[in-house]
Structure 1
């Protein structure tokens, strides 16, 4: 006997249902994610309410639902009729509820099964955001975590980066642990036991329903972890999440976080699965995972579900692309809350690590980018400009037109533009409510605007957000959007497809027959799929066949995916290969893909490391008939096609081809015509987004094409767009110390220079706006019709550029020549292969410099293209407009400002002093600061300018484009000294500056924030830690405590102010270098006590396994972070005892020695501040 095939995708706004009946017909439904059916009353007769549309395809099935707490006694759902007692009126919006989960409600509507009635024989597949929502909203079950002693606070520290550069009050992760228990016992990277497991540490620690175990090096040696889990299970903990089972890959922090997330969600997802099983007893249940696998309820892991809905859409798109013989597609799934995009070339790509809200998850997932731009994205006036998203109205209250008091959204914009037929919508729409919200927006703007043009402009802004996401999934991996077909689905995807394709220059669009329900339909098309993974972590050799045989265990392989990388790098390249591939063929495939991605051959001195092997085992999938398309008419005007699940807006110039299975193909045959002028407020936002898009793409290209880990993984670079005067207009900052420096650098290099089209100049000399020598700047002018429009520039930190010590940051340097290769403004044409001969890594320098040049060339091309589309004068006008908007915001902030001052000292007593006063301009006066430093603590004017710009951005407290407009009404005064050293052209007479960049810059920010009353002192140092010998070199900066502020405690264990680089994971450090991490975590009690507590510092203790030179460049070892913060300490353990080290020191350590760095805590915020 045939059964029902029920497929349900529960999203953030709607639950979509699709089913195949036993007779082979298809049935569809859509309900709100709350489980409610929303409708409006169009007739009332003898207790029967007539609804504005059919409520299901069946003649019964709503008995047992209730309206306003009263049960429905009779129903004819297919005619939209229900009988219920109560007082109702025409036009009233009502909700039908059953109290059941949305997935169960959808299953009832599909099958016509009333609440309480038995379901027919069926097979159920579900995708759900239930786990995702619980994670994002903090509604899981707090976890008991058992981990190796010394790493108990790793989940608080993460990788030490702060998520928002300009947020002083800390944005903390969702607290998913109830308690953390440190367990004695240690294994090394080779699995050798260094310290036995102490089982007495596992005594009961209270009752909990969620338990996780994550111990160091368990990815290669899990026996301690297995024993801990065994003991806990013997004590009655049925559900124990164990890291080597959940995420068996190197890197302790993300593996631990993934395991804790799984434990945190286990009770939530267990409850959800129980509700499905109880409502549909005996019905086989499969759940979609983030990677497109279907798993039974018994083998399903919560952490695998976090992107299951989008994965269903990808499964549908893959099947459809195959049926339509499309080789390369970009998918565009626009729903109510967000938009998901992906690239497919035959099969979907995967990623094995993703951020889901506050949590990093190591689990395979279809490679999808999500942008906060859906139908529910809020349209608002904010910070002097229009904004669309990222905030969303969600399903409750929803858009204004839902009639529940919601804000103006993209859905409302489309309704008011006539791009939706409200009579065919899946829920009743209130046009008047949308009009009211639009009126309120116009009133906020405060100037006369054309309503139609404003609506069109808001839609264009939303389209721009989506276009950027699609560029990311294509250009990031070296592909061109224009070579792909756009597959648009979701409730709002087809509605925006033509506009989006035009924005991207794409010529082909495919609209699925079930576009509004493709994620549910895709569940039906999904094949039984399994991904098996083995971590390899060795140099590529001829053991490929052996590894394949061990992993596949006789099963049929669909795809073999080899994860390879250059030795020493973190980012890897995935190579798909056949079963019989040889080492030579795999090496050739890697080198070909490397050249495609990075534009150059693999460096011959870098070996290839085999990171992991993944096998995709695929069973039978649903076979779709080949879809044929008949040539149709050319669209002559905007045309709307809409059903209850999706809206298609056909734009002029596209030719329609209708497929034999109901799909629609659109081919572009029109001409690109100039669009009408948008309102000024709209045009300003559009250009701002385009400018930001240029520098973001420059940054992505630089990251992708660079060789060094410092740029590729630590993201130690910034890209910028400047106007013809060399003023910074837009940048994509990762490192705040770069912020104000690029404008000054461009102006210094431009002084006395005649720029010509095609020029590119390289510089790192502090006399020309450089910060310190490792920061290399590349500048290119942009000419349009022989007129200078502006500049593009980027600055990137080269991890090695010569000098007296590895890492080019000598703690005892006394002049610039000792710190590395000095580059005055130099044309790129004059830089040959031997230019970096005095560096210890000349090949890396040349490769990274080439990547910087490639990024600039992209920026020049993009800005010229923008000028070609809009005219140079228009682009110049909007560059000026972005600058002026920031200037206006600062002017407002300094109104009525009086005078304030602050001072502090470096550890050697060097004074940093500032006085801030308001005359005609805001005067930031550093007079009275120390003389020129005899060591390396001299901060260049570029560094001082960066610190001032950063502090002013914090003071404004507005998400404003970060540019030199903030300095327009600011005068910075410095005297010759530590903050304005004599930067001579001769490196031998020029003072050393490396410490000024990394240490003095932090103190400058501290005195500025103290003077402005924004925050207590942070740790005031970057804790520079370098070690190496003739075989290797390593450099990292270590976070500490952030200062408290008025109304918040300082964040613990993070980087503050002028840096924000990631710290190397414990297991990676032990894998690559002859060291052992003894402890890494929060230094409890180091934050200043007070009304609002300062954040605690960090402890990083490293044991050395061979003789090594260690360099320390740190501050705040002698002087406290004010008020009440605890200063840092540097310690050496040798011959059985600890001894204190200086803040700035170079030492040689022996095998078995340990260096312990205890970083400063942050200052407290006291009432008198």
Structure 2
């Protein structure tokens, strides 16, 4: 097609078509990456992100995968520029990068970037990131209790894995020789390269169809549109400072020492600032957060999720750089959300989940129709590993589900990857086919109640994994102590727990902290994770009694809990279900409770 629009704005139809094409390209890149990968953390959980970027490192489009990944890639590109200036790129280059003090989200998330040339000129970048199973850290898979960033494993600071189409075999061998599972890591890198190559080719084809000038103007116009839409929503929030506070259990080493988290949301007109002043100083373990690649991205995500959700707008709002522009992020240098190098910072996801949750809590009084009660807002990142009889390592990283808080018009979803995660369930069949472990239990929690409310909190999950051979485990999690909050009269949810017993020896379960590194496991050891349950939204006395009965029949709550907390009375019946509502007794019970 001839480029007929060389000046002015792009007409709406062409703009929509190009916008749809961009989104399709990003999704294709993500699909190629997870379908070609070998490790389950990418292939099954889809812990990845992919997209296209312009010469100023603005996000043009992003895959529908983990928000954490795609929002961080502009930081990767700015970090890479310090070693690979814009004029140093050549067609066929492939750069890898994972340095958390040069824009990366954290060291296991390796970014792969390829330049996009069109008719001999550099026009942008195709890039992706994915969480790699093992990068040679002090403990297999994940790391928490280490002294500095250098103990986290291999660091790549803007290194050319391919230069003008020719592979750097020395670097390739170095990576292969410094991971415990080279057969998986190297194949995953190949999948990332294939994904980036696809993005290059598709963007060039888009320019062939519409012309470079039209495509670039459309990209600029789409970013401006997303920015305008977010600013429109921010402007509806009354100006003010909105504050919420919480805490993390500990830093993975100093037990019993809570780490305060404080979020101040400042709204001024159509601008917003997230200020993390008052949060914990940086800690001596890896429980710190890279500022560019993780802290800022969490804040960008929070406002896009709150104000530009797909299901609250009739208009399609593209996922691009425009939705980042109205949001300013402040974190004092030396705090947990902006550590000073060379502090370790690999275990950072629980903290940024809590940023998002606290932004929601801070804004709940002025956005009651868009906010939830307290979400699980944590991450159970479990790294199981061991050594096979032939001397080779096996490593499994899994992400365990949790729950959301009650919502303005519905219950919090049960056993879901909430907030920033969006990763997928790891199939148990995958575990049994490839590794010397077996899952003894995987179901909804039955030891606690969800946060009561007009709309109850979601139920958490319980998963028990058993070692069939000796091995090791590192667990990155939190919220064993700070309960998810209820809102507008709703009740708090339930905290998480980690328990270990040995089935072969019949030992009693013992509670472990939320996070630990390099635990030595014996044959028969069973590690059980119980994820948090969400808080309730609104008074429990306003809940539809029929929904309370459903929760009884589903085993989420007891008859006594229904009477004492919801004011709902049931009677025993012989109808196959065992219980039915006693409407008159419920009316009387609720009247007594409201009067009290």
Contact kept? 1:1086, 1:1097, Cα under 8 Å: no
Paired position in structure 2 for 1:765:
99
- Report the 3-state secondary structure (helix = DSSP H, G, I; strand = E; otherwise coil) of the residue aligned with 1:999: helix
Paired position in structure 2 for 1:841:
181
Contact kept? 2:300, 2:327, Cα under 8 Å: no
Paired position in structure 1 for 2:259:
910
1:814 shift after superposition: 2.9
The correspondence of residues 398-409 of structure 1 with structure 2, limited to 5 A, is: none
Change in CA separation of 1:1131 and 1:689 when aligned onto 2, cut-off 3 Å: same
The correspondence of residues 891-1040 of structure 1 with structure 2, limited to 5 A, is: 891-897=231-237, 898-899=239-240, 900-908=242-250, 909-919=258-268, 921-941=271-291, 942-959=293-310, 960-976=317-333, 977-983=335-341, 990-996=342-348, 998-1013=349-364, 1014-1031=371-388, 1032-1040=394-402
CA distance in 1 between partners of 2:429 and 2:184 (Å): 25
CA distance in 1 between partners of 2:286 and 2:263 (Å): 21
1:1167 shift after superposition: 6.0
Paired position in structure 2 for 1:888:
228
Contact kept? 2:63, 2:70, Cα under 8 Å: no
Change in CA separation of 1:757 and 1:864 when aligned onto 2, cut-off 3 Å: farther
Which ranges of structure 2 fall in alignment gaps of 5 or more residues?
163-167, 251-257, 311-316, 365-370, 389-393, 487-491, 541-596
CA distance in 2 between partners of 1:841 and 1:930 (Å): 35
Query: Which TM-score applies when normalising by structure 1?
Result: 0.40
CA distance in 1 between partners of 2:198 and 2:465 (Å): 42
1:883 shift after superposition: 0.7
CA distance in 2 between partners of 1:801 and 1:1017 (Å): 34
1:785 shift after superposition: 4.1
CA distance in 2 between partners of 1:721 and 1:956 (Å): 24
* More strand, by proportion: 1
CA distance in 2 between partners of 1:992 and 1:787 (Å): 39
CA distance in 1 between partners of 2:430 and 2:449 (Å): 28
1:695 is aligned, of 26, 47, 60, to 26
CA distance in 2 between partners of 1:687 and 1:1144 (Å): 46
- Structure 1 or 2, whichever has the larger Rg, is 1
Contact kept? 1:733, 1:739, Cα under 8 Å: no
The correspondence of residues 558-637 of structure 1 with structure 2, limited to 5 A, is: none
Q: Deviations over 1:174-217 (max 9, x none)?
A: xxxxxxxxxxxxxxxxxxxxxxxxxxxxxxxxxxxxxxxxxxxx
Change in CA separation of 1:846 and 1:1116 when aligned onto 2, cut-off 3 Å: same
The correspondence of residues 261-300 of structure 1 with structure 2, limited to 5 A, is: none
Q: Deviations over 1:286-310 (max 9, x none)?
A: xxxxxxxxxxxxxxxxxxxxxxxxx
Paired position in structure 1 for 2:432:
1070
Paired position in structure 2 for 1:1103:
466
Contact kept? 2:69, 2:129, Cα under 8 Å: yes
Paired position in structure 2 for 1:317:
none
Q: Deviations over 1:684-711 (max 9, x none)?
A: 1000011112222222333344333332
Does residue 1137 (structure 1) correspond to residue 497 (structure 2)? The answer is no
Contact kept? 1:694, 1:859, Cα under 8 Å: yes
Contact kept? 2:50, 2:70, Cα under 8 Å: no
- Report the 3-state secondary structure (helix = DSSP H, G, I; strand = E; otherwise coil) of the residue aligned with 2:143: coil
Change in CA separation of 1:687 and 1:1098 when aligned onto 2, cut-off 3 Å: same
Paired position in structure 2 for 1:1092:
455
- Report the 3-state secondary structure (helix = DSSP H, G, I; strand = E; otherwise coil) of the residue aligned with 1:1029: strand
Does residue 774 (structure 1) correspond to residue 108 (structure 2)? The answer is yes
1:679 shift after superposition: 7.5
Change in CA separation of 1:778 and 1:1153 when aligned onto 2, cut-off 3 Å: closer
Higher RCO (Cα < 8 Å, 6 or more apart): 2
- Report the 3-state secondary structure (helix = DSSP H, G, I; strand = E; otherwise coil) of the residue aligned with 1:835: helix
Paired position in structure 2 for 1:294:
none
Change in CA separation of 1:887 and 1:1156 when aligned onto 2, cut-off 3 Å: same
Q: Deviations over 1:419-462 (max 9, x none)?
A: xxxxxxxxxxxxxxxxxxxxxxxxxxxxxxxxxxxxxxxxxxxx
CA distance in 2 between partners of 1:751 and 1:824 (Å): 9
Does residue 1112 (structure 1) correspond to residue 475 (structure 2)? The answer is yes
Paired position in structure 2 for 1:1147:
519
Contact kept? 2:133, 2:396, Cα under 8 Å: no
- Report the 3-state secondary structure (helix = DSSP H, G, I; strand = E; otherwise coil) of the residue aligned with 2:303: helix
Q: Deviations over 1:450-477 (max 9, x none)?
A: xxxxxxxxxxxxxxxxxxxxxxxxxxxx
1:813 is aligned, of 146, 164, 172, to 146
1:788 shift after superposition: 3.5
Contact kept? 2:480, 2:497, Cα under 8 Å: yes
CA distance in 2 between partners of 1:860 and 1:1073 (Å): 37
Contact kept? 1:1104, 1:1154, Cα under 8 Å: yes
Contact kept? 2:76, 2:98, Cα under 8 Å: no
- Report the 3-state secondary structure (helix = DSSP H, G, I; strand = E; otherwise coil) of the residue aligned with 1:995: coil
CA distance in 2 between partners of 1:1050 and 1:1007 (Å): 17
CA distance in 2 between partners of 1:1010 and 1:1000 (Å): 15
Change in CA separation of 1:679 and 1:788 when aligned onto 2, cut-off 3 Å: closer
Q: Deviations over 1:565-598 (max 9, x none)?
A: xxxxxxxxxxxxxxxxxxxxxxxxxxxxxxxxxx
The correspondence of residues 650-661 of structure 1 with structure 2, limited to 5 A, is: none
Contact kept? 1:760, 1:827, Cα under 8 Å: yes
The correspondence of residues 301-700 of structure 1 with structure 2, limited to 5 A, is: 674=2, 680-700=11-31
Paired position in structure 1 for 2:584:
none
- Report the 3-state secondary structure (helix = DSSP H, G, I; strand = E; otherwise coil) of the residue aligned with 2:438: strand
Change in CA separation of 1:850 and 1:1074 when aligned onto 2, cut-off 3 Å: closer
Paired position in structure 2 for 1:724:
55
The correspondence of residues 1045-1056 of structure 1 with structure 2, limited to 5 A, is: 1045-1056=407-418
- Report the 3-state secondary structure (helix = DSSP H, G, I; strand = E; otherwise coil) of the residue aligned with 1:845: helix
Change in CA separation of 1:1089 and 1:929 when aligned onto 2, cut-off 3 Å: same
Paired position in structure 1 for 2:566:
none
Q: Which stretch has the larger CA shift, 1098-1107 or 797-806?
A: 1098-1107
1:861 is aligned, of 195, 201, 217, to 201
Q: Give the superposed CA RMSD.
A: 2.3
Change in CA separation of 1:1044 and 1:1138 when aligned onto 2, cut-off 3 Å: same
Change in CA separation of 1:1167 and 1:730 when aligned onto 2, cut-off 3 Å: farther
- Report the 3-state secondary structure (helix = DSSP H, G, I; strand = E; otherwise coil) of the residue aligned with 2:509: strand
Which ranges of structure 1 fall in alignment gaps of 5 or more residues?
1-672, 984-989
Change in CA separation of 1:676 and 1:772 when aligned onto 2, cut-off 3 Å: closer
Contact kept? 1:1086, 1:1160, Cα under 8 Å: no
Does residue 1043 (structure 1) correspond to residue 367 (structure 2)? The answer is no
Contact kept? 2:458, 2:534, Cα under 8 Å: yes
Query: Which TM-score applies when normalising by structure 2?
Result: 0.77
Does residue 789 (structure 1) correspond to residue 123 (structure 2)? The answer is yes
1:1117 shift after superposition: 0.8
Q: Which stretch has the larger CA shift, 734-743 or 681-690?
A: 734-743
Contact kept? 1:886, 1:965, Cα under 8 Å: yes
Change in CA separation of 1:708 and 1:1147 when aligned onto 2, cut-off 3 Å: closer
Contact kept? 2:406, 2:453, Cα under 8 Å: no
1:842 shift after superposition: 2.6
Change in CA separation of 1:933 and 1:1023 when aligned onto 2, cut-off 3 Å: same
Please list every run of at least 4 consecutive aligned residues from structure 1 whose deviation after the TM superposition is greater than 4 angstroms.
673-679
Paired position in structure 2 for 1:1060:
422
- Report the 3-state secondary structure (helix = DSSP H, G, I; strand = E; otherwise coil) of the residue aligned with 1:1137: coil
Contact kept? 1:1086, 1:1095, Cα under 8 Å: no
Q: Deviations over 1:749-782 (max 9, x none)?
A: 2257133331332100011211111111012222
CA distance in 1 between partners of 2:185 and 2:429 (Å): 27
Does residue 1163 (structure 1) correspond to residue 535 (structure 2)? The answer is yes
CA distance in 2 between partners of 1:1099 and 1:1059 (Å): 18
1:675 shift after superposition: 8.9
